[in-house]
Amino acid sequence: MSARERKRVRRLWITRRKRQVWLEQMGHIRLIAPRKLHPLSEHSGKKRFVRTITPPPVLDLESNYEETIALLKSIRFATRTLNAKFMIDLKALQEVSPAAALLMVAECDRWREKTRQKWLRAVDAAHWVPSVRRRLKEMGFFEVLRTRNVPADATVPGEDRYVPFLTGSRNVGPPAAALRKSIEELGPALVDGSALYDGLVEAMTNVKQHAYRAPDGSDTQRWWISASVNTTQNRMTVLVVDHGVGIARTIARDKKWELLRRILGPLVVKDDAKLLSAAFSLDSVNRSQTGEEHRGKGLRENIKGYVSTHESRGHLHVIANHGRYRFQRDSRTKVESEVSSKLETEFNGTFIEWVIEDYGHQPNQDN
C-alpha cells in the first residue's frame, strides 16, 4: 500500500470514528433513558468495520425490562440514523422470553420495511446459544433476516415451543384463526378457542382503529402476533404488539371521563398506569376514542375477559407508554388480583400478553 493510500485509509477511519462519537452523543440526547442506551461499537469482519449493537445476556420484559427496552430503542435509533447499516451480535444472548422474542422480530421486521434494503443479516448464527437460536427460528426471526442454512436445534423436553409470527394491518379474523390453529398443531386442542379468538380480534382491531390515529403515531401501521406453548406444563402464552401511540394515549380524556376523574382524581389523566387500570376496570365508562357506545368494552370483555372467564389459572399483562397493568385469576380458589405500576422507560406502542395454565385438553394424536 502506497503512502497516499495509507493516508486515505487513515482519513476514512478518522471520519468514521468521529461519526461514531457523534452517534453516541446524539443517542444520549434523543433517547428517553440515555444511561440505559446500548452503545454502538465497531465490529471488524469481512475486511470492513461495521457498527454493532450487543444485547444483554437476558431479554425479558419481566426480569430485565429496562435493558430489553433499551436494546429495542437502540435498534430503532440506529435504523433511523445509520440507514440500517449496522449489526446486532446475538452471540452474547443467553435467554430470551416469548415476549422479548416477538419484540425483536417486530423491530427487525419494521427495520426491513423502513429501509427496503438487503442489510439484514444474522451474524455468526452457528455460534449462538442453541435454545435462543431455536426459539427465534421457530418464531420466524431468520425469515425476516432472510438467513439460510441456520443450524437445526433439537427441542429439549419441557421447553416452550414457539409459533411463527403473523403481521398485518387489517382483516384481523383470518390471522386470529391461523394463530389458534398453529397453537393447536403444537399440542392439545384449546379449552376455549373462541374466547382466544375474540381477544385477539379485539386487540388487533384496537390497533387498526386507535393505535395509529394520532398525529404522532408510527408510520409502520401494523400489529404482530405470536404464541408459545409448553405441553409439559400445559401452559400457553399469546402475544400481541404494535408500534402505535399506546393505549394510555388513545383513551378518551374529555367529558366522557368525568366519572373516572371523580372516582380516581383529576391527576388520573396524567398517569399512564392508572389509565390502563381504568381502561380494564368494570367501573370505567363504556366509551373509547371513537365515541361509539359499543367500543371500549372489548378491553375488559374480550382481552381481560379471556382470563377472567377462563376455567383455569391465568394472567393478563399489558404494557403501554409509561404504564404496566397486570390481572391474575385462579378459577379454583376464585382469587383475583389487579395491579398497575409506572415505568421509568416508555414503551413505544402497546404490548398485550395472555398466559393461560391448563389451556388445553384432549391432546392431538399427531403430537
- What is the predicted pLDDT for the residue at 126? 85
3-state SS of the chain is CCHHHHHHHHHHHHHHHHHHHHHHHHHHHHCCCHHHCCCCEEEEECCEEEEEECCCCEEECCCEHHHHHHHHHHHHHHHHHHCCCEEECHHHCCEECHHHHHHHHHHHHHHHHHHCCCCCCCCCHHHCCHHHHHHHHHHCHHHHCCCCCCCCCCCCCCCCEEEEEEEECCCCHHHHHHHHHHHHHCCCEECCHHHHHHHHHHHHHHHHHHHCCCCCCCCCCCEEEEEEEECCCCEEEEEEEECCCCHHHHCCCCHHHHHHHHHHCHHHHHCHHHHHHHHCCCCCCCCCCCCCCCCCCHHHHHHCHHHHCCCCEEEEEEEEEEEEEEEEEECCCCEEEEEEEEEEEEEEEEEEEEEEECCEECCCCCC
Domains and their CATH numbers in the chain:
1-154 (no CATH), 163-367 (3.30.565.10)
Specify which of 4-8, 133-137, 149-153 reaches the highest per-range mean pLDDT. 133-137
Please tell me the predicted confidence (pLDDT) of residue 296. Answer: 45
pLDDT-above-90 percentage for the chain: 29
Give yes or no for residue 364 having a pLDDT over 80: no
Which of 59-68, 189-198, 235-244 is predicted least confidently? 189-198
Mean pLDDT for the stretch of residues 167-185: 91
pLDDT in tens, 265-316: 555 556 888 888 888 875 444 444 444 443 445 677 788 888 887 777 899 9
Residue 161 has a pLDDT of 92
The pTM for the full model equals 0.79
Task: Tell me what pLDDT residue 40 has.
Answer: 61
134 pLDDT higher than 60: yes
